Structure 1
């Protein structure tokens, strides 16, 4: 029985799988960063700012983990249909989110009490 979809080159499928695993690795790193930020002592950052930074990092972690499989599935479907790949819609959110955390942490480090 022949399907309408073609099997993509295995290299593309494996590259898509590696990207999926990278999204999960990124999620784990963001989660670890959020936990570490929450555990920073009170004399380094003001407590409410530590909480804000930790919540942003853990939220980005959850979003990354939650969107990894749907993104993999969309790309795999596009590969099978020889269609254009969907744009990385969440990439700007992660880039700007991590940059915002880094800038806020830098400001807090430079202007500690």
Structure 2
């Protein structure tokens, strides 16, 4: 695990394996990484907005729970983004199959479930 984390911060180690790929593949991998970071930042912004601007909700500490869930999810996305970028870059350099990931599906389900729960809260509050 620590070796994988070390790769995030040491570009020389990453470049020491395999051969230099077509730069377009590395740039596409970087764009994907940046898209994931934007997603993480949006979740963090949503968590801060929930903490600051949501009115008190019917259930005790629900507003705080929503904010914390969004903040944790945003942090998870950011960490997952850099790990996936490093693993993908390594696979590209080695000519291996790109790493598969269930994370996009898990993230999509988490966002959908969160949205549905918020719909329920809005409907209950409106009654």
RMSD across aligned positions (CA): 1.6
Does the 8 A contact of 1:34 with 1:54 survive in 2?
Answer: yes
Which residue of 85, 88, 92 maps to 1:79?
A: 92
- The ranges of structure 1 where at least 4 consecutive aligned residues each deviate by more than 3 angstroms after the TM superposition are none
Does the 8 A contact of 1:78 with 1:84 survive in 2?
Answer: yes
Does the 8 A contact of 1:56 with 1:97 survive in 2?
Answer: no
Does the 8 A contact of 1:20 with 1:68 survive in 2?
Answer: yes
Partner of 1:21: 34
1:30-45 map, 5 Å: 30-39=43-52, 40-42=54-56, 45=57
Q: Is there any run of 5+ residues in structure 2 with no aligned partner, and where?
A: 1-15
- If each structure's helix is expressed as a fraction of its own residues, which one has the higher value? 2
**TM-score, normalised by the number of residues in structure 2:** 0.78
Q: Is there any run of 5+ residues in structure 1 with no aligned partner, and where?
A: none
Counterpart CA distance in 2 for 1:85 and 1:36 is 36
Does the 8 A contact of 1:56 with 1:101 survive in 2?
Answer: no
Which residue of 95, 106, 112 maps to 2:119?
A: 106
> Number of paired residues?
109
Partner of 1:93: 106
